Structure formats: C-alpha cells, structure tokens
Structure 1
Amino acid sequence: MRVLTVTPNPALDLTVQAPGWQPSAVNVVDRAQTDAGGKGVNVAAVLADWAAHGESTIELSAAGWLGQGNASPFEELFRERGIQDHFMRVPGETRLGLKIVDPLSQSTTDFNLPGVQVTPEQVAALTANLRRLAPQHSAVVLSGSLPPGVPSDFYAELIQALRTPAGPLLAVDTSGAALTAVLNAPQLPQLLKPNIHELEAALGRELPSDAERLAATHELLNRGAEWVALSLGEEGAWLVWNGGAVLARPPQVAVVSTVGAGDAMVAGLVSARLEGLSPADALRRATAFSAGNVTRLGAGLPPHADLLALQQQVQIQPQLREQGEL
C-alpha cells in the first residue's frame, strides 16, 4: 500500500526538556534536539517506523512546501526513512516550532511560527501535483495548519477534487479555519481526526458530554464521513462510524513529550484502515501508537515489543447504552 502525506506548513521542531521551567525566569535545559516535523511529516515518520517493525509493507511519499533556506533536515529524514520527497521548494526558510517539555509536570508548551509565505501560483502548482500524485496512492493524509498566502479552503477544495469512488482514502487532521472549511464543504473525507477542542471550535459549541460528542460526530457521518476519531487527550479517544462507536482508554505511560501524539494516532488509524482492521482494532492500534509516541522526544514509535505491550493494555469500551444507540 502507498500513503501520501501532505504538510503545507512543516516545521523544524526544536524540543527542549526543562524540568520545572518557569516563565520570566532563567531556566536550565537538560537536553534538546531538533527534528524535521510538521503534522504530515510526523505521520510519515511514524508509518516508516511501523514498516520498519516488519508489520506492514508501506511505500511513503510526502508533499507540501519547504523553504529553500533550510530544507536539508527534511531531506535527510526522507532519505533515512525511505520517504519519497515531493515537496515544492519555495524562497525563504521553513518555520521553527519551539516545544518546551517539562518532565516533572508531564506537560509540553508549544510556540509555533506562521511559516513561509506562499503565492497563488505556488498554491496552484502544488494542487496540480497532488491531483497527479493522489491516484497513485492508497491513502492521502492532509495534516496541519496552512501557511500565509494559502486560502483556508485549501483542504476542502482538495477533498472535492480527490474524493471519488475509485480514489484514495482521504484523512484530514487540521484545526481552525481550515477545519471549519472542511466541515462546511459539500464532501467530507472518509476519515476525520479532530481533537475535542478543535471540533468544538469548528462547530461553534461546547461538547461537554459523551452524548453530545457522539451526536456531533454523527452529524459528520450523515454528511459523508466514514470514520470520525475524536481524541480527548488523557481521557482517550472515540472512534465513531455508521455501525457503532468505541472508546479507547490509553495505558498509563511516563510522558516525555506530547509532540506528535495526534499524528501517531492518525498513522495508526490510516494503516489499520488500509489493512482492513475493524474499527475497534484500529482504535486500539492508534491509541497504542499515540501512547508509544509520548514516551520519546520527536515523532516515532518505541521498540516493537514495547509497542505490542502498550497495545495489549489499551482498554476498548463499546458505546454505553445510556448514551443512545447509533
């Protein structure tokens, strides 16, 4: 199977580990590392780890825009992980993302810069390239924010062009105006993976109860989505489809960094869907991927034995009867 990840706004993620750090103070950093990242790049990196475990044969491609001034870390990642590089180079430098990890509180603070400026001509060129590449792949993952110059309906327009009966599986993980545009478009992708805060913002209402969350996901199913994965952070995640819903509770792990946790979940869902796993088994895998990712700095999976142990510890709970039948 072949998977194409699309990252319009990649980032060089500088992750620093600073126990007990405080704002407006001088803080000591225990360790630091810089990774080529961005949501779709992270998805590809996790899928490459999964393929390296020998559990699946996946050919990976990655596309988006990269600043010419600092493309080399991404090029090195793609070479190391066997990812085909279809990124367009544009003038300037790819943005920096600063991640401050506090192992004492098990928290991560993010500072994300806006990204390189993209012209309408560059938007048109990438769109044309994606329309050419998509039919060659089993799945296309559209992930992350949009850089300056890219219209908020960029993903929505791609979905309208790419979602056909014979086309690839389309998966979307974004937020803000880009997610709102996707949810308001005539066609939805087959797989949506918002977190609870992103979905509440896009729908313009709070979803405090499981019943309200399931009702909201059903609105999306009724409009053409096939799987809606709603992540709830430490509480776990729902996966809802026309035949039912399951809730996954993640295992307790020592959190090193939450960077890439959602991207690991997307990677697990996409790989499971392409392999024909049931929704419950797909969510179990995706939750284990996410839990394994947070035990390390940077996007990726832990050793295979550790990953399998985490998967066995994921608790899967079918929809409760009192929440209403789907």
Structure 2
Amino acid sequence: MTGPVITLTLNPAIDETIVLDALAPGTVHRARAVAFHAGGKGVNVASCLADWGGIPVIAAGLLGRANEAPFARLFAAKAIRDECLRVPGETRTNVKLAHAGDTTDINLPGLEVTASSLRAVSARLLGLAAPGAIVLLAGSLPAGVDEGFYAGLIADLAARGARVLLDSSGPPLACALAGGAPPWCIKPNRAELEALAGRRLADAAALRDAARGLLGCGVSLVAVSLGAEGALFVTAEDCLRAALAPMLVASTVGAGDAMVAGIIAGMHAGAGLERIARLGTAFAAAKLRAPGANLPGRDAVEALARQVVVRREGENAA
C-alpha cells in the first residue's frame, strides 16, 4: 500500500514518567529521573510508525489548546501530519512510576468533550479515510462519550472501504464487537480477553479458543499480547504464537502500542500473518529498550524480527 495510516486518539495524555529504584507505598521516594512525552495510544502508534519509516502517518484526535506544545513538537519532529482538533482546556497528564522493570500507572481525568467537538473530529477523520485506508481507533473514550461511539465510527469507516483496527477495552470494545460492522483487527491483552470471554483463561488452549470466538463477531485478526509469553496472532485460517527471549527492560510504557504499530507496518506492506507476527513482536521488544514511544533504527528492529520464534498452535500445528 502507498496510502497513509490514520490514527485517532480522543483521550490523549502527556506521559510523565518517573524512574524509581523501587516503589514502596506510604514512603518517601527519591526519583532517579523524570521525562515528559506526548502520548495516548494513537499518538504512540503514530510515533513508532514514523520511526519505522516509509509510511505516511496522519494523527487525528482531540488536543487541549492550553498544553498542545508537546504534541506539536512531536508531530513536527517526526513528520507526522497533524490533523488533531484543538479544543478548550488542557490535555490530561498521566503519571507513570517506572520501578524494577515494572510500571505503575496513575491516569488523570481527561478533557471534557462536547458533542460538537465529537462531530467535528468524526467528520475530519471520515474525510481523511479513502478506500483501502488503514485507520486505528485507539484508547479510552473521554468521560461522557457514549460507549457505542467507536462502533458507529467503525461502521462509517467500513462504508468508505477503510480497514479499521481498534485498540480499546471495556464497554467501547464490547460495543464495537457487537456492532454490525466490527473492526478488522483488535489487540486485547490477557486481562482484556478474559473480560470479553467472561472467564479466566488459564492455559494456551483457553486463550486460543477465546480469541477464535471473537472471529465469529466478524473480526479478521485477533492479536493477544501476553507480556513475557509473547503474543498470539489468530485468524480464521491460522494461530501463531510469537515470542522473543527476555531482555533488559528500560520502560514498558507503550509496548502494547508499539505492537499495534508493528501489526500496521505489516498490513501496510501487504505481509502475511507470520511477518505481521514478527513485526508486532519486534516493535514491542524494541520499544522496551528505551523510554517514550520511540523505536531504534529499522535495521535494529529487523534484527529483532529475525530472532522472533514463531510457532503454529492448535489443530493446525505441524
């Protein structure tokens, strides 16, 4: 494909990452470092795709006028086309406490969004989405927005011939899966898949069955991120597990978003499922090596992709 990838982030955030030696509730901590990054799921995916290169990227969504500068700087530095709608107020700040390889998130309330702002950002997105476009709807919905908002937007995008990826959770994801035009791809983690299944998924077979169950909703690809266990990539024809050996972790912030970026990079190149699995896993692993939603050079990511161990699971396994 040659067209752009469009990401939508309705609830962006400025990520304040504080690095600690350890986290002990109820005690005083001395931070080793602090960094601020323009974030939100769709923004993070756009950033990783820009680092990968060769794919025109458009960032759409909502930004508070009062503190838009970090986002404007990011988009300018990475040549990401900025189609975000500015609204009154401040974009929220999310505090991330990085300690001993783990991250504790404290997510603050987001912008108050009006119905007119939602109509405007939806119209802008639909105007950008040409037939065959890859569109990512990412993250939580702002407070007060109807849980079925993504479902309606997916139907409108599908009518324009776009392929939609949805990376959200809870009721917005459940509504989208119950809608008449489901997303082309979703990327739940284990906890989100368990919530959709309504039960604990204790082993590989249970995970596979739950992921395959979502294909019945009309989804073409279910990618289940499993942390250190890698990820499952499930279609109607195949089920692959992809994983890399454990590595030194600088920050887990944005690793799931990096996996989505890798999946999109594979889709944009017209790759098969194994290549998509390798890129998704390699993008996530590359992100673990550095803070912020950034990737190293393409050669480093490709080297990781070659190291990814991919095996077929289930009844189709060799």
**What is aligned with 2:84?**
87
**What is aligned with 1:41?**
43
1:179-190 matches, within 5 Å, as: 179-190=173-184
**What is aligned with 2:213?**
219
CA distance in 2 between counterparts of 1:304 and 1:35 reads: 22
**What is aligned with 1:75?**
72
1:118-129 matches, within 5 Å, as: 118-129=113-124
CA distance in 2 between counterparts of 1:174 and 1:251 reads: 27
Q: TM-score, normalised by structure 2?
A: 0.95
For 2:242, the aligned partner's letter is A
Is residue 156 from structure 1 mapped to residue 151 from structure 2 by the alignment? yes
Shift of 1:169: 1.7
Is residue 283 from structure 1 mapped to residue 277 from structure 2 by the alignment? yes
**SS of the residue 2:129 aligns to:** helix
CA distance in 1 between counterparts of 2:262 and 2:292 reads: 17
**What is aligned with 1:297?**
291
| Contact 2:248–2:289 (CA under 8 A) maintained in structure 1 | yes
CA distance in 1 between counterparts of 2:149 and 2:123 reads: 12
**What is aligned with 1:206?**
200
**What is aligned with 1:54?**
none
Q: How many residues align?
A: 315
Shift of 1:250: 2.2
**SS of the residue 1:100 aligns to:** strand
Is residue 3 from structure 1 mapped to residue 11 from structure 2 by the alignment? no
| Contact 2:61–2:83 (CA under 8 A) maintained in structure 1 | yes
Q: TM-score, normalised by structure 1?
A: 0.93
**SS of the residue 2:28 aligns to:** coil
Shift of 1:10: 0.4
1:129-278 matches, within 5 Å, as: 129-135=124-130, 138-164=133-159, 167-278=161-272
Structure 2 unmatched runs, 5+:
none
For 1:89, the aligned partner's letter is R
For 2:119, the aligned partner's letter is A
Identical-residue share of aligned pairs (%): 42
CA distance in 1 between counterparts of 2:220 and 2:302 reads: 27
- Aligned-residue CA RMSD (Å): 1.5
Q: Deviations over 1:265-310 (max 9, x none)?
A: 0000011012111101111111010001011100111234432332
For 2:150, the aligned partner's letter is Y
Shift of 1:137: 6.7
CA distance in 2 between counterparts of 1:26 and 1:223 reads: 49
| Contact 1:246–1:318 (CA under 8 A) maintained in structure 2 | yes
